[in-house]
Amino acid sequence: MVTDSGGIRADGVRRSFGTVHAVADVDLVAEPGRVTALIGPNGSGKTTLLLMLAGLLRPDGGTVRVAGFDPVTESYAARARTGWMPDVFGTWDSLTAREVLTTVAAAYRLDRAAGEARASELLALVHLQDLADAPAHVLSRGQKQRLGLARALVHDPDVLLLDEPASGLDPRSRVDLRVLVRDLAASGKTILVSSHVLTELDEMADDAVFISKGRTVATQSVTGGDEPRQWRMLALDPAALIAWLESSETAYEPDPTGGVLVDLRGEAAAAALLRSAVEADVPVVSLAPAGGVLEQTYLALEEERR
């Protein structure tokens, strides 16, 4: 649970730019030790919300607590506990990757030796040792993202706000990012991460908050939930599969891939369906979730809002 001293909490937060209500009414809870995904279409207000949580933009109304502090009235305490990784990381072009980190360390009042040690540790963590002494402007987009992540971690914050952290990362770096984020959550940090790549969030997040047009429209637990979702079932003999589904009165819809889609509640239900199909000699070749759980919720919400 979020207590006064941990996690992120936003209640009825709003922020407009002129007549644009970028964030109109957002409620959000992100708990320590968990990764919470922030999901919404382009322009739904994710970055604006993250900027308010990071203390970089003042809300017009509502309340925000980050690690127990108000980022506006207790900005020093909140910022000391918050790591912010923007979607586009502007580096100071004349500095090297290492200097970017030691400069940030100095801003957080780490002494020189501690700052240098921390910079080396983080450069190794994000696999940038070989480029440590290269000017930051020569880094590729993905390498800059990794430096941005290292920068967010300099002061060992309790709360991490990551805006599209995987954008521009190659497949290996995405896996590394996922492992790192999970490790940070396991060590008790609160992590809020926005991304459009829902399959990636499926594998990274514990909880999800969906926003649309500046409002919270749904929250969902990613892990351990047994909400119904669609599974795709394929058989060597599609006619035999359909005959069996009909005789066993299992609801299905045909799938363009030649298989069928069935609604199932959790993995135990999938195992039971597979067992009965095999017992009935249906030559099933696969039964797997059709798309990720977050993608299914996202598309259902989009459909609802059309």
**At closest approach, how far in Å is the CB of 18 from ligand ATP?**
7
195 contacts ligand ATP (rule: CB under 6 A): no
46 contacts ligand ATP (rule: CB under 6 A): yes
> What's the rounded Cα separation, in Å, for the pair 4 and 13?
18
45 contacts ligand ATP (rule: CB under 6 A): yes
24 contacts ligand ATP (rule: CB under 6 A): no
**At closest approach, how far in Å is the CB of 43 from ligand ATP?**
4
Beta strand segments in the chain, E: 8-17, 20-30, 35-39, 61-66, 82-85, 159-163, 190-194, 207-212, 215-221, 228-235, 253-254, 260-265, 284-289
The tokens for 90 are: 């502007």
| Radius of gyration, alpha carbons of the chain | 23
> What's the rounded Cα separation, in Å, for the pair 68 and 242?
55
Are β-strands 8-17 and 20-30 bridged in parallel, bridged antiparallel, or unpaired? antiparallel
Give a three-class secondary structure readout of 99-133.
HHHHHHHHHCCCCHHHHHHHHHHHHHHCCCHHHCC
**At closest approach, how far in Å is the CB of 138 from ligand ATP?**
26
6 or 45, CB closer to ligand ATP?
45
Can you say whether the dihedral through the CA atoms of 65, 66, 68, 72 is positive or negative?
negative
8 or 260, CB closer to ligand ATP?
8
**At closest approach, how far in Å is the CB of 120 from ligand ATP?**
33
42 contacts ligand ATP (rule: CB under 6 A): yes
305 contacts ligand ATP (rule: CB under 6 A): no
Interacting residues with ligand ATP between 203 and 232 (CB under 6 A): none
How does DSSP classify residue 63?
Answer: E
57 or 273, CB closer to ligand ATP?
57
Q: Is 7 left (phi over 0), alpha (psi -120 to 50) or beta?
A: left
149 contacts ligand ATP (rule: CB under 6 A): no
Figure out which of the listed residues 10, 13, 22, 208 binds ligand ATP, where binding follows CB under 6 A: 22
251 contacts ligand ATP (rule: CB under 6 A): no
186, with CB counted inside 10 A (0-12, 13-18, 19+), is exposed
**At closest approach, how far in Å is the CB of 185 from ligand ATP?**
22
**At closest approach, how far in Å is the CB of 48 from ligand ATP?**
3
43 or 225, CB closer to ligand ATP?
43
Figure out which of the listed residues 5, 11, 43, 258 binds ligand ATP, where binding follows CB under 6 A: 43
| C-alpha dist (Å) from residue 105 to 84, 113, 154 | 14, 10, 6
44 contacts ligand ATP (rule: CB under 6 A): yes
Closest CA to 255 of 301, 300, 293, 286: 286
Of 39-47, 76-84, 153-161, 247-255, the segment contacting ligand ATP by CB under 6 A is 39-47
> What's the rounded Cα separation, in Å, for the pair 260 and 268?
19
20 contacts ligand ATP (rule: CB under 6 A): yes
22 or 245, CB closer to ligand ATP?
22
Which residues here bind ligand ATP, judged by CB under 6 A?
Answer: 17, 20, 22, 40, 42-48
